[in-house]
């Protein structure tokens, strides 16, 4: 029996959507929204309605009148507490938990909210893929320099774990024994040291590490304090500046890596400088994670949408090849196919479908 799966993933000024028959793609579209209109919508429920209209139009064009859209609709979700990675049924309890999350975190659940809104009762299952996981860090990796602050937040865990398992198979080394630096290079970057079957340390562009397509990465702390107390920024505006409008978006007014790389190739010296900066910071964090592993690195794994750009990959390899000559590049798995495969395993009963019943979310 085959299953039809609709995957969706919102970005800052677009929403990606694709329809699959099992894991075979039938249709795909990236809906581009008006940046100014979106910037005026701070309420997540209003933004959901804004994006939903366009999604429904696209989805309707892929089905005949009266036909069921899909067996499952799936989007990504986030919970600000340690939560097992996996597929969750979006039921009433799950939605209540989402709406109780602090307002500046609701944006990360827009995919799940849209998935629920596209699902007709008794026709399709609504799923959320939680890509964060419980803390696996070494004790010293949690230290920040101030006791009331600590590291330990993990993101893109579903991609990193998948890439680590794939590298284990490709290298012929058991998963519990392979020692890897894994760099997820997508819209946000997550760079980790992975050994003994766990993520021992990680830098993510929400709080430290290199800047990425839309995220600022680590910033001078005194500068952030001055920005926060300047009176020019609300809390949500400042968070958006760091997490949605930072990185390439801040420097180049676009988060399209291929556009910036093209401008560099055409002789744009400013674009070249910005790309060298991003590569420099990314390579520095990869090297730092090699230190976490004591220099014992079986391979460096690069994955995520940025690896689709060959020139970007070659620039980065030029900075990190001294660490190891084994640099594995896994470039085909974008967010939509990852979502579809997760939903397919859930529909087939191959993976557990979780129900969110943990303690109240703050």
pLDDT digits (tens, 9 = 90+) for 101-145: 765 455 678 999 999 999 876 678 999 988 655 567 776 766 677
Give bridge partners of residue 86 from the DSSP assignment: 130
- Over the stretch 311-342, which tens digit does the pLDDT of each residue have? 999 999 999 999 999 999 998 667 888 899 88
User: Rounded to an integer, what distance in angstroms lies between the CA atom of residue 174 and that of residue 64?
Assistant: 48
- Where along the chain do the CATH 3.30.420.40 domains lie? 4-132+336-354, 139-331
Q: pTM here?
A: 0.69
Per-residue pLDDT band at 162 (split at 50, 70, 90):
confident
Do residues 70 and 26 touch, judged by C-beta distance below 8 A?
no
Query: C-alpha angle with apex 107: 134 to 232, nearest 5 degrees?
Result: 115
Please state, rounded to an integer, the average pLDDT across all residues of the chain: 86
- At 154 the pLDDT is 62
pLDDT of residue 132: 59
Residue 179 has pLDDT above 90, yes or no: yes
359 pLDDT above the threshold of 60: no
Give the fold, CATH level 3, of 139-331.
Nucleotidyltransferase; domain 5 (3.30.420)
Cα gap 151→179, rounded to integer Å: 21
Asked if residue 187 has pLDDT above 90, the reply is no
Q: Residue 356 has what pLDDT?
A: 81
The CATH number of the structural domain formed by 4-132+336-354 is: 3.30.420.40
Q: State the pairing for strand pair 198-204/180-185.
A: unpaired
HEC string of 211-276? CCCCCCCCCCHHHHHHHHCCCCCCHHHHHHHHHCCCHHHHHHCCCCHHHHHHHHHCCCHHHHHHHH
Q: How confident is the model at residue 362 (pLDDT cuts 50, 70, 90)?
A: very low
Mean pLDDT of 240-257: 88
Confidence of residue 174 (pLDDT cuts 50, 70, 90): very high
| CA gap 146, 153 in Å, rounded | 16
């Amino acid at each position: 029996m085959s299953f039809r799966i609709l995957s969706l993933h919102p970005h800052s000024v677009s929403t990606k959507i694709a329809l699959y028959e099992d894991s075979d793609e039938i249709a795909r579209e990236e809906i581009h929204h008006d940046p100014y209109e979106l910037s005026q919508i701070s309420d997540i429920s209003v933004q959901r309605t804004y994006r939903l209209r366009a999604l429904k139009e696209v989805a309707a064009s892929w089905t005949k009148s009266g036909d069921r859209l899909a067996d499952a609709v799936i989007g990504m979700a986030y919970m600000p507490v340690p939560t097992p990675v996996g597929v969750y049924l979006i039921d009433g309890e799950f939605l209540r938990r989402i709406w109780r999350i602090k307002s500046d975190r609701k944006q990360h659940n827009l995919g799940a909210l849209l998935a629920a809104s596209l699902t007709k009762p008794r026709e399709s299952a609504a799923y959320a893929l939680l890509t964060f996981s419980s803390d696996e860090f070494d004790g010293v990796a949690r230290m920040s320099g101030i006791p009331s602050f600590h590291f330990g937040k993990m993101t893109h865990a579903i991609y990193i774990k998948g890439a680590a398992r794939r590298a284990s198979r490709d290298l012929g080394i058991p998963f519990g024994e392979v020692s890897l630096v894994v760099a997820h290079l997508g819209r946000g970057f997550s760079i980790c040291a992975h050994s003994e079957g766990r993520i021992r340390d990680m830098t993510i562009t929400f709080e430290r590490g290199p800047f990425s397509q839309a995220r600022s990465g680590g910033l001078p702390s005194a500068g952030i304090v001055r920005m926060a107390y300047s009176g020019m920024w609300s809390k949500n505006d400042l968070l958006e500046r760091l997490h949605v409008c930072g990185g390439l978006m801040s420097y180049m007014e676009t988060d399209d890596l291929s556009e910036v790389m093209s401008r560099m190739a055409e002789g744009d010296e400013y674009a070249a400088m910005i790309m060298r900066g991003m590569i420099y910071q990314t390579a520095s964090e990869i090297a730092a994670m090699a230190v976490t592993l004591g220099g014992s690195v079986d391979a460096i794994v690069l994955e995520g949408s940025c690896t689709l750009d060959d020139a970007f990959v070659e620039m980065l390899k030029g900075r990190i090849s001294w660490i190891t000559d084994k640099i594995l590049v896994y470039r085909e798995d974008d967010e939509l196919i990852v979502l579809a495969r997760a939903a397919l395993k859930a529909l087939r009963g191959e993976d557990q479908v979780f129900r969110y019943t943990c303690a109240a979310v703050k």
